[in-house]
A and B are shown apart, each in its own frame.
Chain A
Amino acid sequence: MALLEANGVVKQFGGLIAVNNVVFSIEKGMIASLIGPNGAGKTTFFNIITGFYQPTSGDIIFDGQSLVGLSTDRITARGVSRTFQNIRLFANMSALENVLVGEHCHLRSGVVGAILHTPGTMREEAQAEARAHELLDFVGLRNRADELAKNLPYGDQRRLEIARALATEPKLLLLDEPSAGMNPIETEDLTQFIRRLRDELDLTILLIEHHMRVVMNISDRVSVMDLGELIAEGAPEEIQQNQRVIEAYLGTGGDEMLGAE
C-alpha cells in the first residue's frame, strides 16, 4: 500500500497555478526524488504535504488518512517531517535543544509537571535528553551537543536539521535540497547517510534535489516536475533518457547534463 498518495492536487496563488493536478504516490521504504527546474513547484508541493499551504483542490492521503485541513503540527505528529531548503535551525539554541524541540510531540509533561518537577516529568525529560544524544550520535554530532546551532559549520547544520526532523519520529521524511551548497565529498557522505536513514531507521524518504549524482545514485524512483505539473516518473535510468525531461531542463539538445552527471 502506498504510504503517501496525492490525488489531483492543485495549488493556485491568485492567477498563478503553482501545482497543477499532481497525482503522485510513494510506497513504504522507498527513496523517491522530486526533480525539476527552479520554480517548477517542488517546494510548494512539500509545503502542501506538510500543511503549510492548503491545496486549492485534491487530496493527500497519508497512511490511510487525509492530511488536508490538518495543521502543520498535527501532520508532524502523524509522522511526516521535513527539512528546509535554506537551513532553518533554531539558531540561538544549542544542538541538543534543537533536537529536543523535535521530540516535542512525543512528550507529555505539562505546566504542573514543569513547575513541580514531578517524578514523571523528570523521567520523561531524562529519557528525551538521552534520545536526543542518541540522535546526535547517529548523525555524527556527538561532541557538538552544547554548541549553538548557528555556530556549527554548514555541513553539520544540515545534519542537525535532519537529526531534528528525525526526533519527531517520522514515517515519511521530506528532505528539501539536502545537498545544496555541499562539495563533492560532503555530497557523497550525504548520499550514504540518506541510504542509512532508510535502511537503519526504516524510513520512507522523499527528496527534492538538484545534484543529479545524488538523485541517480540513491533514488528508487524519480519524479520530474515542470511548471507545476508532473511530467515524468520512473527509474533513474529511464528519466535520464526521457526526452521531455531533458527539454524541460535545458530546452532541446540538453542530454549532456543529465547523462554526464
Chain B
Amino acid sequence: MQLRASIKAGTIVGATALFFTISGMFNALAGPHIAGVSLSHIILALMGLWGGWLTVRDLMGGEESPPPWQTTLSGALAGIIAGLWIAPLVALASAIDVRYVLDSVTPDTITILSFGRSLPQGVLLLVGGLAVLSMATALLYPYLSRANLQMRQDISTSGLSGPAFFSGRSVRVILPLTLLGLLVVLAPLRLGGYYDHVLGSVGIYVMMGLGLNVVVGFAGLLDLGYVAFFAIGAYAYAFLNSPKYNMHVGFWISLPIVVAIAALGGILLGVPVLRMRGDYLAIVTLGFGEIIRLFLNNLVKLTGGPQGILDIRPPSLPGIDLGNPLAFYYLILVGCVATAFVTSRLDRSRIGRAWAAIREDEDVARAMGIDTVKYKLMAFAIGASFAGIGGSIFASRQAAIFPADFTLMVSINVLCLIIIGGMGSIPGIIAGSVALIGLPEMLRGFSDYRLLIFGALLVIMMVFRPEGLIPSVRRQQEIHEEEEKLGIATAAT
C-alpha cells in the first residue's frame, strides 16, 4: 500500500518534470533568479516538495495513519521515483546529442538538471535532492496540517465572540474578496502598459464570457457564433467613430446605439434557430458567425474589406485622457463589474428561472406557462448586447479593426473559458478568462511551447476538475453526485 502511494506520487511528479524538460521550460525559466537561485531550480525543488505532499496525502487518506517513519520513507521513495523519470534522459543527453529528436533538450538543460556537475555526481544530486525534499514534506506534513486545522478553529471560535461582521463566513469570504478587489483596482497602477493591456484583454473576454454565459450557461443554448456580435459591436462602433464615414459620435453616445444593434443581431440570429436544439443549433450559429465575418471581409465598399477600418477614436471623458492602456483597463473593469452585476441579478430572478427551466426541459417549460420563444430571444439579445459592448471597447482600444480579428477562434475561446471556469458561475468565468486569455500571454517566454503547455493544462484540468475552476454550486453537485453514484456502484460490485 505504501509502495503504491510512492509510485503514484513519484510518477505524477516525474512525468511533470519530464514534460518540463522536453518542452524546454527549464531552459526558459533559467534566466530569472530569486535570492541567487534560478527559477528553474526553484521549480524543480517545488516539484520535490509536491511529491512528498502527494504521497502523504494519499497515505493519510486511509482510516489509520501509518507511523511517521513509514510516511517519511514513502516520501523519500516518491522523490527517488520522480528523479528516475528524468535521470535517464539527463544521462543519455549528456552522452549523445538528442536534439535531433528532442530539440529543446540542449546542453543547457543538462547543465541545469545536473547542477553543473559531471555526470554521475549530477544525476545523483538530482535524484537525491528530489528524495530529500519529498521526504521533508512527508516528515513535516502532519505538523503542518495540524497547524492549519488549529488556525481554522481559532478563526471560527474567535469569530463567534467578535462582532457579527467578522464571524465565520465573513472572515473567510469578505476579507479575501476585499483584498482581491483592492488588488484588481490598484495593481495595474504599478504593472506598466504591457500588463495593463493584457489585463484589458482579459477583461474584454470576461465581459464576453459573462454574456455568452447567459445564452449557454443560463438558457442552455449552445452558440458557436458568438464572435458575430463582437464583430457587429466593433464595426458599429467603428462606423460611428472613424473617418470612414466621417462620423464622430463619441463613445458614450455610441454605446447605447451599439447595444441596440447587437441586440437586434441577437434576435435576428435567434428567430431562425428557435426550433433547433443542441448540436443543430451549434452548427447553425457557427455558420452565422462565419457569415458575418465573410460579409465584413467581402463587402469592401461598406466595411473596407480586409483592409479594415482605421483611425477609430478612443473614448473620452471631459478633462480625462482615456486613450492609454491604464485608462482602458479601468473602463473595461467598470464594464466587467456592470456585466457581472446585471447577469447575476438576472440569473436570480423570474427570468433566470425561466431560462433554467428551458435549459432543463423546454417542452415542460412551455407547459408551465413559459413563453419559450420570448425567453430564448431575450437570452440571445442580452448575450449579444454584452458582446457588442465588448466589441466597442475592443475597436476603440485597437484603433483599427480587421475581419481577421473576428475568427471562429474567438467564439471557441469564449466558450472554452466558460467551460474551464465553470459554466453558469460568474467568479468561474472571471477565473477562466484569466487562465485562458491571461496565461498564454504570461507564457510568451516559452514561445513555441506556449500552446502545447496550454493544451496540456486544459486536458489535465478537464480530467481532474470537469466542473470548472470555480463551479456554480449546482453544477458541482450535478457532477459530483454522478461520481458518487459511480463510486457506490463500483464499491457494490
A residues apposed to B, CB below 8 Å: 50, 52, 71-73, 76-77, 81-82, 84, 88-93, 97, 100-102, 104-105, 107, 109-111, 113-115, 117, 121, 125, 128, 148, 151, 164, 167-168
Contact = CB atoms under 8 A, between A and B. Distances in A.
Contacts of A151: 481
Nearest to A84: B364
Contacts of A71: 366, 371
A92 B360 contact: yes
Nearest to B372: A73
A86 B308 CA distance: 55
Nearest to A97: B353
7 contacts: A72-B367, A92-B474, A93-B474, A101-B356, A115-B345, A148-B474, A168-B369
A109 B364 contact: no
Interface in B353-381: 353-354, 356-357, 360-361, 363-372, 378
Contact of B360 (A52, A90, A109, A125): A90
Contacts of A81: 367-368
B349 interface: yes
B360 A115 contact: no
B346 interface: yes
A224 to B, nearest CB: 25
Contact of B346 (A101, A111, A167): A111
B275 interface: no
B363 A52 contact: yes
Nearest to B381: A111
B146 interface: no
B381 to A, nearest CB: 10
B345 A117 contact: yes
Nearest to A72: B366
Contacts of A110: 351
A93 B350 CA distance: 14
A111 B357 CA distance: 17
Nearest to B364: A88
Question: Max chain A CB contacts within 10 Å: which of B350, B353, B364, B477?
Answer: B350
Given A88-B364, A93-B356, A111 B351 contact: yes
Nearest to A149: B360
Contacts of B378: 111
Contacts of B341: 115
Interface in B449-493: 474, 477-478, 481
Interface residues of B, number: 30
A117 B342 CA distance: 11
B368 A104 contact: yes
B369 A114 contact: no
Contact of B354 (A72, A92, A104, A117): A104
A207 to B, nearest CB: 16
Interface of B: 341-342, 345-346, 349-354, 356-357, 360-361, 363-372, 378, 382, 474, 477-478, 481
Contact of A125 (B350, B361, B364, B371): B350
Contacts of A104: 350, 353-354, 357, 368-370
A36 to B, nearest CB: 22
Contacts of A88: 361, 363-364
A101 B368 contact: yes
A92 B478 contact: yes
A1 B94 CA distance: 97
A90 B356 contact: yes
A110 B40 CA distance: 56
A100 B356 CA distance: 12
Contacts of A168: 368-369
Query: Most chain-A Cβ atoms within 10 A of its Cβ — which of B346, B349, B361?
Result: B349
B366 A97 contact: no
B349 A121 contact: yes
Contact of B368 (A76, A92, A109): A76
Contacts of A115: 341-342, 345-346
A73 B357 contact: no
Residue of B345, B346, B369, B478 with highest tally of chain A CB at under 10 A: B369
A114 B361 CA distance: 23
Would you list the 6 A-B pairs with minimal beta carbon distance, nearest first? A105-B369, A114-B349, A76-B369, A90-B360, A72-B366, A101-B357
A90 B372 contact: no
A73 B366 contact: yes
Given A73-B372, A90-B361, A101-B370, A114 B351 contact: yes
Contacts of A102: 368-369
A114 B356 contact: no
B352 to A, nearest CB: 8
Contacts of B478: 92
B355 to A, nearest CB: 10
A107 B350 contact: yes
A52 B361 CA distance: 14
Contacts of B361: 88, 90
B275 to A, nearest CB: 13
B354 A101 contact: yes
Nearest to A93: B356
Nearest to A168: B369
Interface centre among B370, B477, B481, by most A CB within 10 Å? B370
B360 A77 contact: no
A121 B351 CA distance: 12
Given A92-B360, A148-B477, 7 more contacts: A71-B371, A72-B366, A72-B367, A109-B349, A109-B350, A114-B346, A114-B350
Contact of A77 (B349, B369, B382): B369
A93 B345 contact: no
Nearest to B481: A151
B373 to A, nearest CB: 8
Contacts of A93: 353, 356-357, 360, 474
A89 B360 CA distance: 8
Nearest to B344: A115
B346 A164 contact: no
A147 B115 CA distance: 58
Nearest to B371: A73
Contacts of A52: 363, 367
A52 B371 CA distance: 13
A88 B364 CA distance: 7
A111 to B, nearest CB: 7
Contacts of B353: 93, 97, 100-101, 104
Contacts of A84: 364
A72 B361 CA distance: 14
B484 to A, nearest CB: 11
A50 B346 contact: no
B264 to A, nearest CB: 16
Contacts of B364: 84, 88-90
B305 to A, nearest CB: 37
Given A107-B350, A109-B350, A111-B346, A91 B368 contact: no
